């Protein structure tokens, strides 16, 4: 249909040019076909060509908007299914973390709960993205595709096209009647019909010019709106996806850190057995003067027990009743170091085992620090 329409338009333009040549040849009889008429026809031809380009442009933009809407709708449908699947995986992971009865530790319990929480956040972000794409991209473009401004402008352009065809037909009719009057100039009936045809042609030309300007203005406005709104919706789509992927990356990186930590707990040396371990008391307050030499913390001598103070460099969270939780900056009275890499000591009135590599030995410490340990 587009090809036929273009061919018909070209044919009409050729006919109009031929008519103009005929009118110029006969030299302005009846007030039509002079220089003013020629300029008007050229302007009208330019207006017609511009309107045709606008019509094609707005139609292409409409199809592109429709393609975006369909693509976003398909993405929303697929994404909603992914949210459903991800939510189910989240629930399963949380259920396992809550019901896990493994006797060898609860490391996987914590990891599964961390995974469930992160997955819940990711699915929430995905749902927010889908909502944004629907409300801020698909709906505005769908409103433009189906909106009144575009349809009204297209109707004006179609009315103008029909009036242009009618004007061209009337131009041919005037040319035919002018030829008859030249053949029989004394026939008053022919002259009267010619004058009537010329008056009708003048009215058609006037109405066509007004309608053409109105249609061109409306189509140009719609084209500008289509270009600006479509670009803005595309930018909104890109920005929404960029923000979504940034937040997902943050969640995944945090989750990876948590799970790497749990993996290190699994791979760390097993906690040493505490049987046959002597538990001597920590140094007394009287043994800590203004400064304490830790090589002489037990009864003022460097006895066989080898007590010393250590400063915590890395935090450790106890995983059982016979382990000791420590925080960075704490001072611990070290009472025993096992060959497995674990140390037994006391901090803030609590005793237990912790990784020896998490502390650094301190030979001289302010008395106030020792008091904090006790």
Cβ partners under 8 Å of residue 325, min gap 6:
316, 317, 318, 350, 352, 354
* pLDDT given at position 257: 86
pLDDT of 24: 45
Q: What is the pLDDT of residues 53-93, one digit of tens each?
A: 998 999 999 999 999 999 999 999 999 999 999 999 999 99
> Which conformational region is residue 329 in: left (phi greater than 0), alpha (psi within -120 to 50 degrees), or beta?
left
Q: What is the pLDDT of residue 332?
A: 92
Whether 59 contacts 2, CB under 8 Å:
no
H-assigned helices in the chain: 2-26, 35-99, 107-133, 139-146, 148-183, 188-267, 367-373
**Alpha carbons 285 and 373: distance in angstroms, whole number:** 11
pLDDT digits (tens, 9 = 90+) for 116-137: 999 999 999 999 999 999 999 9
pLDDT digits 0-9 by tens, 250-262: 999 988 888 887 7
The model scores a pTM over 0.75: no
Q: Which two tokens stand for residue 299?
A: 């009864």
Spell 49-61 as b/e; 16+ CB within 10 A means b: eebbebbebbeeb
pLDDT at 15: 58
Q: How far apart (Å, rounded) are the C-alpha atoms in residues 178 and 199? A: 13
- Residue 232 is predicted with a pLDDT of 96
Secondary structure in 3-state letters for 305-318: CCCEEEEECCCECC
Per-residue pLDDT of the chain (374 residues; tens, 9 = 90+): 566 666 666 666 665 555 555 444 433 443 323 333 333 568 888 888 888 899 899 999 999 999 999 999 999 999 999 999 999 999 999 999 888 887 777 778 888 888 999 999 999 999 999 999 999 999 999 999 998 888 888 899 889 889 989 988 998 999 998 998 888 888 888 889 889 999 999 999 889 889 989 998 999 999 999 999 999 999 999 999 999 999 999 999 988 888 887 777 777 655 444 333 333 333 333 333 344 344 444 333 333 346 788 999 888 888 877 889 999 888 998 988 887 788 899 998 888 989 988 898 887 655 455 555 55
């Amino acid at each position: 249909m587009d090809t036929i329409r273009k061919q018909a338009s070209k044919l009409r333009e050729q006919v109009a040019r031929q008519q103009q040549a005929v009118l110029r040849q006969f030299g302005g009889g009846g007030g039509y076909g002079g220089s003013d008429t020629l300029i008007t026809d050229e302007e009208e031809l330019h207006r017609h060509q511009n309107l045709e380009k606008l019509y094609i442009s707005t139609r292409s933009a409409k199809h592109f908007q429709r393609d975006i809407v369909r693509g976003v709708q398909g993405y929303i449908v697929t994404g909603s299914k992914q949210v459903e699947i991800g939510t189910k995986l989240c629930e399963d992971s949380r259920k396992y973390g809550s019901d896990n009865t493994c006797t060898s530790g609860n490391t996987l319990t914590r990891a599964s709960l961390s995974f469930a929480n992160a997955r819940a956040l990711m699915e929430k972000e995905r749902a927010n993205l889908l909502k944004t794409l629907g409300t801020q991209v698909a709906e505005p473009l769908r409103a433009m595709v189906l909106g009144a401004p575009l349809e009204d402008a297209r109707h004006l352009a179609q009315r103008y096209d029909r009036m242009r065809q009618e004007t061209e037909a009337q131009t041919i009719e005037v040319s035919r009647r002018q030829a008859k009057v030249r053949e029989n100039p004394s026939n008053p009936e022919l002259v009267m019909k010619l004058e009537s045809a010329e008056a009708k042609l003048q009215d058609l030309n006037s109405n066509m010019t007004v309608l053409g300007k109105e249609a061109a203005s409306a189509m140009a406005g719609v084209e500008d709106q289509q270009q600006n709104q479509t670009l803005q919706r595309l930018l909104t789509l890109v920005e929404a996806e960029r923000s979504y992927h940034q937040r997902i990356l943050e969640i995944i990186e945090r989750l990876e850190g948590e799970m790497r930590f749990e993996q290190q707990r699994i791979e760390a040396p097993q906690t040493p057995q505490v049987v046959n371990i002597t538990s001597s008391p920590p140094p007394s307050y009287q043994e800590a003067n203004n400064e304490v030499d830790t090589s002489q913390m037990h009864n003022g001598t460097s006895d066989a027990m080898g007590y010393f103070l250590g400063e915590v460099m890395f935090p450790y969270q106890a995983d059982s009743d016979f382990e000791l939780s420590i925080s960075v900056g704490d001072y611990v009275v070290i009472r025993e170091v096992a060959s497995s890499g674990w140390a037994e000591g006391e901090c803030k009135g609590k005793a237990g085992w912790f990784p020896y590599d998490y502390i650094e030995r301190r030979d001289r410490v302010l008395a106030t620090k020792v008091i904090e340990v006790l």
